[in-house]
Amino acid sequence: MADNPLDFQSAHDRKHGPDAEFVYRDERGCSWFKFTCSYRDGEDEFCFEIWALNVADAERRLRAICQTAKVDGQLFHEVPA
C-alpha cells in the first residue's frame, strides 16, 4: 500500500480523467476543466471554482484575478435561463 493515500487517486485520475460534469467542450472543440482555488482571510479559508484549459492556464487565470478582480455588486436573485 502506498504511503500517501492520494497516490491511488492520482493514478486513477490520470487513467480515467475527470467526471463529465467537470469538463466542458466549447464551440471550437477545446476542453475546459473545472479547478478549485482557495484563499485565506484571517483565520478563515474560502474557495471558488474556475474553468481553465489546464493547470498552467488555471494558474494564469488566478494571477489575472489577483491583479484585476473587483466587486461588481451584490446578487439578490437569479433568473433561470
**pLDDT tens-digit map of 4-44:** 555 656 666 667 789 999 999 999 999 999 999 999 999 99
Compute the distance between CA of residue 34 and CA of residue 19 in angstroms, rounded to an integer.
10
Q: Specify if 76 maps to a domain.
A: no
Q: Specify if 39 maps to a domain.
A: yes
Q: Specify if 46 maps to a domain.
A: yes
Q: Which domain holds residue 46?
A: 17-67
Q: Specify if 23 maps to a domain.
A: yes
Q: Specify if 37 maps to a domain.
A: yes
pLDDT in tens, 40-68: 999 999 999 999 999 999 999 999 999 99
Q: Specify if 72 maps to a domain.
A: no
Q: Specify if 79 maps to a domain.
A: no
Q: What strands lie across the sheet with 44-52, from one edge to the other?
A: 23-25, 31-41, 44-52
Q: Specify if 6 maps to a domain.
A: no
Q: How far, in whole angstroms, is CA 58 from its chain's centroid?
A: 7
The pTM score is: 0.73
Query: Domains in the chain: how many in total?
Result: 1
